[in-house]
Structure 1
Amino acid sequence: MTGTLPRRANAPPAGAPPRHATAPPAGSRPPHATAPPRGTRPPRGAAAPPGTRPPRGAAVPRAVAPWTEEEIARLAEDAARRTPAVSAPAATVRIDGPAARVDLDVVVTHGVHLPTAAEGVRRRVTAGIEAYTGRTVEAVTVTVVGLRLPGEAPAPGGHPGDDREAT
């Protein structure tokens, strides 16, 4: 049997371009398109309309939360405690406007390279405080006040120089 096959009911007429290749009528937009028509976007650097997100990577001003020095000191101690080979951190924080300065006393495991341990503490404390509070950390001073021998149990907390028992 020779000849042509019958055309499907929803197929385009012979010689017409396929449906996906046709452009939408001028001025119409598909319902899923979210970008405004060309030429209607605000210029670069202009403030975004209320209720919209800033572009990725843009600096977003953050309000400085009303954190107390004691709360920031607890954050610093927690961040220092998470640093390997560091135990019993005791922190003192001074707040000066939107910035904070941290002094930390720590006990380090014997045999650890002290500058490396201090730098690890400095980085973790700075990142933790800036992430949680939005404050800039101007300086983190790390003082090693003791060494923990390999067989000793880590101190339960508090100030490393305290000989008092925890109650």
Structure 2
Amino acid sequence: MNMTLKDLLEKRRSAISTKWFDAIIDTYPADDSGFLKKQKDRFTNPVGHTFTRGVESILEALIGGEDMNDSIPFLNDIIKVRAIQNFAPSKAIEFIFLLKKVVREELEKEIRQNQINDELLGFESKIDDLALIAFDIYAKCRDQLSELKTDELKRMTFSLLKKANLMSEIPAQEFEHKDLNFNI
């Protein structure tokens, strides 16, 4: 009986999810990756918890053929973490492409046996689309971080000038922190 790629992905979802999570964590230095893998508590390890939930939800959306917008909140959470951690853009979204490798390694034999290369190409195309969405999210996050840093620098400069009695007539409201959040 020939199985479809969707059937195989459903059957091996747990293994794929675990291996994808491990591949993502392996993009971190050894000191950090050990903690991220071992510590399961969401309060002690919020990054690991965010990645676990994100990986599972993104994979579920990809397998289910759902609209990618359904997985964006989880993708957004992972990208925010990686943007704050100053990953280069290519490294920040690299984790999405790691899913292709994990799926090919996990299902290599079945893909050949069931001759489902066309289905695999379609699935990988969805992953590529997800990577494009991730890049847009990363760019917005980095822009927001830059704005926050600029606003903080303005506030600090204003505060220092005011303390030195070099500024007294400019209203402080011009330098107040904007309400910037990462809602994308």
TM-score band, normalised by shorter chain? 0.3 to 0.5
- Which one has a larger percent strand, Structure 1 or Structure 2? 1
User: What is the TM-score of this pair, normalised by structure 1?
Assistant: 0.34
**Which one has the largest radius of gyration?**
1
User: What is the TM-score of this pair, normalised by structure 2?
Assistant: 0.31
